[in-house]
Amino acid sequence: MKLNLFDSHVHTSHSHDGQSTMEEVCAQAVSRGVMGVAFTDHYECDIPEQRLGVRDALAELPRFRQQYQGRLRLGRGIELGQGHLYPEMAEEILGSEEFDLVLGSVHTYSPGVDIGAINFNKPEVKVSDILEKYFRDCYDMAVWGRFDVMAHLGYPERYIWGKYRIPVSFAPYEDIIQATLKLLVETGKGLEVNTSGYRQGLGKTIPILAILKRYYQLGGRIVTLGSDAHRAEDLAADFEVAMDILTGIGFEYFAFYRERQPVMLKLI
């Protein structure tokens, strides 16, 4: 049993694909011994129907902060998809709400088309095209930089291998991944360790171990833990495994975010 469990990537029913209410997530957090949760509902810049719920979630949060005061730390977060491609739309939400944590994500391959919705069995779908574009987008997002933590770097593998069982090698993209990590370190951004791959057939963290190691070697020390739960029972799922991976690399701390600043917690 690990202490200091803080889940920095959690969806509620305010996300289009979320299944549990904020109330259910809070109740689960307390019973699971989780000390804090950052609610990070989707705000997908290129998918209008996937950015409707964030403001509702933020409006609902004070009630639960009050109800769980002293027992559970609740963060005002957002999972901002493709912000670098739609900077004005991103600024609109960032400028009009106060956040504890902004997750920067790349989900789509072309406008409005989530990589998770692509049929990789189709012969015209080229895995290399999708990975190339994906890692380029992550780099561009890091240059843009209007987020705190880069979420699930390596996201397409959750589908390409996790769902379609097509083996993936990141070797051709090593340079751009390295450049992205370097930028994250230089600009003081965090890197998320997303554990959803353990529940979705991938069987490992996102990013993979080699990328986490590289971030550490480059001087990166700000890692957050995110289950990417879309239902309460997945809260903090597989955090014990992820924490052991981090300590194995050399990390001594992980972070949660308060008012967009990392707060370091000991990995114990």
Q: Which is nearer to Zn ion, 26 or 150 (CB)?
A: 150
Which stretch, 84-92, 98-106, 118-126, 206-214, contacts Zn ion (CB under 5 A)? Answer: 98-106
Q: In whole angstroms, how close is the CB of 9 to Zn ion at the nearest point? A: 6
Of 23, 32, 262, the C-alpha closest to 148 is 262
Q: Write the single-letter amino acid at 244.
A: D
Q: Which is nearer to Zn ion, 82 or 105 (CB)?
A: 105
In angstroms, the Cα distances linking 209 to 71, 86, 242 are 33, 31, 10
Q: In whole angstroms, how close is the CB of 230 to Zn ion at the nearest point? A: 8
Q: In whole angstroms, how close is the CB of 11 to Zn ion at the nearest point? A: 6
* Interface with Zn ion: number of residues (CB under 5 A): 3
Which residues touch 176 (CB under 8 Å, ≥6 apart)?
135, 136, 138, 139
Q: Which is nearer to Zn ion, 1 or 230 (CB)?
A: 230
CA separation for the pair 110, 33 (Å, rounded): 40
**Contact pattern from residue 198 through residue 237 relative to Zn ion, giving x for each residue in contact according to CB under 5 A and a dash for the rest:** ------------------------------x---------
Does residue 105 belong to the site contacting Zn ion (CB under 5 A)? Answer: yes
**Between helices 54-67 and 22-32, what is the axis angle to 10°?**
40
Q: In whole angstroms, how close is the CB of 151 to Zn ion at the nearest point? A: 5
Q: Which is nearer to Zn ion, 150 or 243 (CB)?
A: 150
Does residue 194 belong to the site contacting Zn ion (CB under 5 A)? Answer: no
Inter-residue contact 198 to 157 (CB < 8 Å) = no
Does residue 7 belong to the site contacting Zn ion (CB under 5 A)? Answer: no
Of 237, 164, 171, the C-alpha closest to 205 is 237
Q: In whole angstroms, how close is the CB of 105 to Zn ion at the nearest point? A: 4
Which stretch, 43-51, 105-113, 161-169, 244-252, contacts Zn ion (CB under 5 A)? Answer: 105-113
Q: Which is nearer to Zn ion, 115 or 183 (CB)?
A: 115
- List the structure tokens of 192: 């998320």
Which residues touch 108 (CB under 8 Å, ≥6 apart)?
44, 46, 47, 81, 82, 114, 115
- Binding interface with Zn ion (CB under 5 A): 79, 105, 228
